Amino acid sequence: MKIGELSRSTDTKVTTIRFYEEIGLLNRPARTASGRRTYTTGDVERLNFVRNGRRLGFSIEEIRSLIALASEPNRDCGEAMTIASCHLAAVEERLEQLTALRDELAVMSRDCDRQRIADCRVIHTIARPVGSPISIGLSPARAGRAMSCEGHATAREASSAASSRLRRSAFRSE
């Protein structure tokens, strides 16, 4: 099985597979005479394990530990349980934060009367002094495929946010 087929059968991009190999999450596969990677069904299982782990939100390092544990069938599974329940607790905390966030966003959207910026509830809510103690670790706007939110932020004149972040200092004062 070549990398393309592995990619298709695990719904993982080719570059991601190579990345997993580089960081040691996948074993280095055998190569053909011309240097192409060849995979076995064991590799498919392993990659599925990694992908499921990621889908469940485990970090690469957590998955690395879980793989190591999985390869010792006679060990006590306490450590795996610790990783899982710890992660569960983290997810529950983020759920709470995200719920609070959603409520705040919903209020500000609901209350805005859609008139002038000067009276805009959205702008005013964000502009208020550093208020409520909700401090969130949300990584925002990764959005991806599901949302059609593109183009609102970038469309104005930051369109040339081309390459280096150092070049982005086309900043505009108020």
- Give residues 27-56 in contact with a second copy (rule: CB under 8 A): 27-28, 45-46, 48-49, 51-56
Q: Which does 82 bind (CB under 5 to 8 A by kind): a second copy, DNA, none?
A: a second copy
- 111 belongs to the binding site for a second copy (CB under 8 A): no
- At closest approach, how far in Å is the CB of 95 from DNA? 18
- At closest approach, how far in Å is the CB of 4 from a second copy? 17
Q: Which does 78 bind (CB under 5 to 8 A by kind): a second copy, DNA, none?
A: a second copy
Residue 2 phi, psi dihedral angles, 5° rounding: -95, 175
- Measured in residues, the chain has a length of 174
- 146 belongs to the binding site for a second copy (CB under 8 A): yes
Report how far apart, in Å, the C-alpha atoms of 137 and of each of 54, 91, 116, 159 are.
18, 12, 32, 28
- 155 belongs to the binding site for DNA (CB under 7 A): no
Structure tokens, 131: 């208020």
Q: Choose among 27, 62, 32: nearest CA to 45.
A: 27
What residues between 66 and 85 interact with DNA by CB under 7 A? none
- 165 belongs to the binding site for DNA (CB under 7 A): yes
| Selected range binding DNA among 78-86, 92-100, 120-128, 157-165, rule: CB under 7 A | 157-165
Other beta carbons within 10 angstroms of residue 21's beta carbon come to 17
Q: Choose among 2, 31, 32: nearest CA to 17.
A: 2
Q: Choose among 135, 111, 134, 132: nearest CA to 123.
A: 111
Contact footprint for DNA (CB under 7 A)? 2-5, 7, 13-16, 18-19, 31-37, 54, 59-61, 139-141, 161-165
